[in-house]
Amino acid sequence: MLKLEHQTLNDRAYGALKQELISGGFSPGQTLVIRKLAETFGISTTPIREALQRLVAERLLEMQNNRSVIVPLLSAPAFEELTRIRIAVEGLAGEIAASRMSESGLIDVQAMLAGMQRAIDAGDARAYLSLNEAFHFAIYQHAGAPILLNMIRDLWGRVGPYLKLLMQADRYIPQSNEAHRRIVGALEQRNGPAVRASLGQDIAAAAAVLSESLRTAD
């Protein structure tokens, strides 16, 4: 019984750390210190250490020669490849979701769209990014495709640390909700191909802004 509880704690630590990657709680290149993470999550160092090893094995984190664990830095070519994959995979999930989304689900994404606009108007980057994540995953979950959803979560685990940079880009903020409006409009019409296309436009627009930052860093 104790072993099962220990395993559950390991899984919870893994899930929490992965969610931090997805949500942008960690920054690109950040060193993750086991003791500090254990204090943050209120657990012992062992499940944190095992969760980090698991994320390193999945290449969502990177182990340095000195055994420290960092959030990977993406090169511009790697980011461009990641963007192409996201457009294909997330577009597929959105297209499937268009015919499966419930009325209550549609109401939820409409509310998130309105919330994102309020966050933009208020200059609240943290609220916008949180709602943006919730908006996308609310759509993808309605596809009813758990394997596909796990793939998307892994992709967001790689790009998540970079997403907060979007709200520092003056030219991105005014257009940041345009594709979301098209996505919701297509969902209202149950138009799968249009949902897929609009998701692709959304991902590509954000990636274009982030790619400039990566090229400058290189």
Q: How high is the mean pLDDT in each 10-residue block of the chain (218 residues)? A: 57 95 95 96 94 97 96 94 98 98 97 95 90 97 98 97 81 83 98 98 93 68
> Which residue type is seen at 84?
R
HEC-encoded secondary structure of 42-64: CCCHHHHHHHHHHHHHCCCCEEC
* Topology of the domain comprising 76-217: Four Helix Bundle (Hemerythrin (Met), subunit A) (1.20.120)
Q: What is the C-alpha radius of gyration for the chain, rounded to an integer number of angstroms?
A: 18
Give the pLDDT of residue 1. Answer: 33
Domain 2-70 shares a fold with domain 76-217: no
* Topology of the domain comprising 2-70: Arc Repressor Mutant, subunit A (1.10.10)
Domain boundaries, given as residue ranges, for the chain:
2-70, 76-217
Instruction: Identify whether the C-beta of residue 13 lies closer than 8 Å to the C-beta of residue 43.
Output: yes
For residues 176 and 114, what is the distance between their CA atoms, to the nearest angstrom? 13
Structure tokens at 216: 């400058």
Instruction: Identify whether the C-beta of residue 84 lies closer than 8 Å to the C-beta of residue 207.
Output: no
| Whether the model pTM is above 0.85 | yes
Task: Give 87-130 pLDDT, tens digit per residue.
Answer: 999 999 999 999 999 999 999 999 999 999 999 999 888 899 99
